[in-house]
Amino acid sequence: MSRTTTLCLAAVLALSPMAAAAQKSAQPNYPTRPIRVIVPYAAGGPMDYIARTLNKKMAPALGQQLVVDNRPGAGGALGSDVVAKSAPDGYTMLHTSSSHASLPVIMKSLPYDPVKDFAPITLIVNSVGFLFVAHPSVPARSVKEFIALARSRPGDLNYGSGGVGNVMHFAAEIFNEKAGTKLTHVPYKGVGQAIGDLLGGRIDTVFGPGTVLRPHIQSGKLRGLGITAAQRWSELPDVPTIDEAGVKGYLFLPWYGLWFPAGTPDAHVTRVRNEVAKALEDAEIRRSMAEQGFAPVGSTPAEFRKIIVEEIESNRRLAAKIGLKPE
């Protein structure tokens, strides 16, 4: 091939749509405006805390703010759909929990594909476990006493969650299956609403994040019965794991992560993932996360995608086993 022909081919390739897209994806000045972070639940939950904590460290590095936009509804599907249908330009992110992998199992039809319509950025943190708490009016002071009470009154006691398919929903249904209880599900549009009704004595119990439940246990407004992890949480050392409290084999560890819409340039995905990973290395952020019940991860996009795919399949098996039917 002559030198002239080679130069002509190079010029054609440089002007091709693929090359233009590659050049666009590698824009060195991204981001040039604030990034909207859609949280598909009401304000006040763990995702708000994680996003705002990361923003303090990431905003100076990115040169732009991460602006939280709460879009509750449909167990998290409403806000997730907003992201799935947003422009893949790196300025709209989804920040949600492992309920992203349970919604496809619980809902008959989603307006988006949880894998194909999103570009995974990173699994930010794992939870150290959900806290199993009850209102003081419930006459049970331990997991064993609660199980005995629930078995004597099947369907009478209830639990609140952030919505159908929410991680709180799955945590409680796994408890129902393993403990032989029949707690009635009361879904809300967000974690905050469920906790509010629990504090008001309008529901009996909740399996939820330490972010908001720990202060209420410490003040005596709620009774901590157990934690869903394999080991006790250092912030509440007197609260036993549900496994050690009598429900052998019980384990539930939610996670929280970030996604862009599918088609977002790889360079933008990498930029944000790297900044999250750097932020999670900060000693103060790690201390703060630990106090709130989170264990920093900062996975790669490929690792996160694998986790999502595997968990969706695992949730399908769980739903079939415990008789959960799509609604």
CATH number of the structural domain spanning residue 168: 3.40.190.10
- Sign of the alpha-carbon torsion through 46, 48, 52, 58: positive
The CATH number for 272's domain is 3.40.190.150
Q: Which residues contact 49 (CB under 8 A, 6 or more apart)?
A: 211, 292
Residues 143 and 177 in one domain: yes
Q: Which residues of the chain have pLDDT under 70?
A: 1-27
pTM over 0.85: no
Task: Tell me the pLDDT tens digit for each residue of 120-174.
Answer: 999 999 998 999 999 999 999 999 999 999 999 999 999 999 887 778 888 998 9
Q: Which among 227, 242, 263 is the end of a domain?
A: 227
Burial code of 272-297, b = ≥16 C-beta within 10 A, e = fewer? bbebbbebbebeebeeebbebbbebb
Q: Which helix (H) or strand (E) holds 127?
A: strand 118-127
On whether residue 6 sits in a domain, the answer given is no
- 24: tokens are 């666009």
> What pLDDT, on the 0 to 100 scale, is given for residue 27?
61
11 lies in a domain? no
pLDDT tens, position by position, 179-206: 999 999 999 988 889 999 999 999 999 9
Question: Looking at the structure, do residues 170 and 219 belong to the same domain, yes or no?
Answer: yes
Q: Which domain holds residue 138?
A: 131-227
> What pLDDT score does 15 carry?
44
220 and 277 in a single domain? The answer is no
115 and 149 co-located in one domain: no
Domain match, 40 and 123 both:
yes
Domain endpoint, select from 227, 243, 265: 227
Residues 78 and 213 placed together within one structural domain of the fold: no
Answer yes or no: are the C-beta atoms of 213 and 206 closer than 8 Å: yes
CA angle 189, 192, 195 (to 5 degrees): 110
Examine the domain organization and report whether 41 and 123 are in the same domain.
yes
* Residues 6 or more apart in contact with residue 15 via CB below 8 angstroms: none
Q: CA 77 to CA 265: how far, in whole Å?
A: 24
The pairing of strands 35-39 and 92-97 is: parallel
Give the count of domains, the chain: 2
